[in-house]
Amino acid sequence: MPPPVLADVLDQVAALLARHVAFPSTAARDAVALWAAHCHVFDRFDSTPRLCLVSAEKQSGKTRTLELLELLVPRAVHVANITVAALFRLVEAEKPTFLLDEADRYFGRKSADQHEDLIALVNAGHRAGATVPRVTGDGASMAVRKFPVFAPAAIAGIGELPDTITDRSVFVRMRRRAPDEQVEPFRRRTHEPAGRLLHDKLAAWALADDKQQALGAAIPDLPAGLVDRPADVWEPLIVIADAAGATWPARARAAAVVLNQLRADHEPSTGVRLLADLRQVFGTADKLPTAVVLERLNAIEEAPWGALAAGRGLDPRGLADRLREYGVTSRNLRLASGVAKGYTHSDLADAWRRYLPPPPLDESYIRYAATPQVTDPEPEVPP
């Protein structure tokens, strides 16, 4: 029997997800569908992206998404907590797909320091060949063994997760369903057959002889600006989308641009926030005196600058100290009113280019990001 047509299977996976979860956008839904497919072939690639589902509040569809993924991915291990020892021993024994729920309990800001080893293992496990050394045996039989930790993982939690995890993730910010957003209630006993059928179709596609080498050898064209770690994150999903054909290559690239931008905007460092606000402050100006820069920065209501120094705001020394880390220093500017200390657009341009994400590349990506998810035809159910 020939393997199933991947584009059709992905359409059905996306439809199943959309029936039960009100994703924030079509981009998010498509990314989760592609991530589910990648779990069946993750070992063909150099890295496996983490799927990071976060929300501000409970009841935002995170656990429901994991419950659906449990039906779709191979050897699912769906847990609300896990130890370091259990994780690496499961990887060696079962090559599972980890679905880590309530991750804020052990990866959140208040608890991350107590689970540094687990965070390090989850981070390391995104790269092929990653291992963790552990001592096994007793007495004379003691020896150091290297346990593999390369395995797919989806992580769901409330609030902020460590940026070392989100940097390695397809990042989806979930939200509570609005009253006018209707989804079908999920009942495992009712909907499991449809999910298992799609699991089997993905598994059959993954085992097809002509797919064994082609996926790992593919070098896809990535959207401009998707480089370094974001490229590592999205390359496996885009390769799979290219293998599927039909509408999926365009959908995957649009999702990559949209969701990577959301990840970059998730929680910038104070320095990156300052650079972004400076780009806004400068606009098209060629140069600005320090006094004007500070006045405009401190006037940005949602920025932290005006609240510094007990409400006196960011001052010239504080601005200079922060910018010095990025190789930016003030200079004497010749102005109509005389000479004053300040900054030029060209002084900041290199830091903006290096540390800030580029502006959206195409308006179609913005329209795509804002598009509510659509529900495709329902997946078939086995007799």
Give the mean pLDDT of 85-110.
Answer: 87
d(CA 101, CA 104) in angstroms, rounded, equals 8
Query: What sign has the CA pseudo-torsion 304, 305, 307, 309?
Result: positive
Name the average pLDDT for the chain: 87
Are residues 320 and 216 both part of a single domain? no
Res. 175: pLDDT tops 70 = yes
Question: What is the predicted pLDDT for the residue at 264?
Answer: 75
DSSP line for 311-366? HT---HHHHHHHHHTTT---EEEEETTEEEEEEEHHHHHHHHHHHSPPPPS-HHHH
The strand pair at 338-344 and 331-335 is best described as antiparallel
DSSP line for 272-317? HHHHHHHHHHHTT-SEEEHHHHHHHHHT-TTSSGGGHHHHT---HH
| Residue-wise pLDDT tens digits, 246-292 | 999 999 999 999 998 888 776 667 888 899 999 999 999 999 999 99
Say if 284 falls within a structural domain: yes
d(CA 235, CA 220) in angstroms, rounded, equals 7
Give the mean pLDDT of 371-377.
Answer: 51
Domains: count for the chain: 2
- Provide the pLDDT confidence category of residue 179 given band limits of 50, 70 and 90: confident
Res. 367: pLDDT tops 60 = no
Res. 132: pLDDT tops 50 = yes
344: its two tokens: 């030029």
Are residues 150 and 46 both part of a single domain? yes
Amino acid identity of residue 42, one-letter, is F
Say if 101 falls within a structural domain: yes
Say if 335 falls within a structural domain: yes
Are residues 260 and 281 both part of a single domain? no
Res. 171: pLDDT tops 50 = yes
Say if 378 falls within a structural domain: no
Say if 380 falls within a structural domain: no
Are residues 94 and 184 both part of a single domain? yes
Contact 107, 154 (CB under 8 A): no
Helices (H) and strands (E) in the chain, counts: 17, 10
Residues in contact with 369: Cβ distance below 8 Å, sequence separation at least 6, in sequence order? 25, 27, 258
Range of the domain at 315: 270-355
Are residues 238 and 166 both part of a single domain? yes
Question: What is the predicted pLDDT for the residue at 381?
Answer: 52
306: its two tokens: 């005006």
201 phi/psi in degrees, rounded to 5: -65, -40
Say if 382 falls within a structural domain: no
- Specify the higher pLDDT residue, 363 or 285: 285
d(CA 198, CA 175) in angstroms, rounded, equals 26
Are residues 243 and 188 both part of a single domain? yes
52 phi/psi in degrees, rounded to 5: -110, 115
Say if 376 falls within a structural domain: no
> What's the whole-model pTM score?
0.77
Say if 23 falls within a structural domain: yes
| Residue-wise pLDDT tens digits, 36-57 | 999 999 999 999 999 999 998 8
Amino acid identity of residue 12, one-letter, is Q
Contact 356, 272 (CB under 8 A): yes
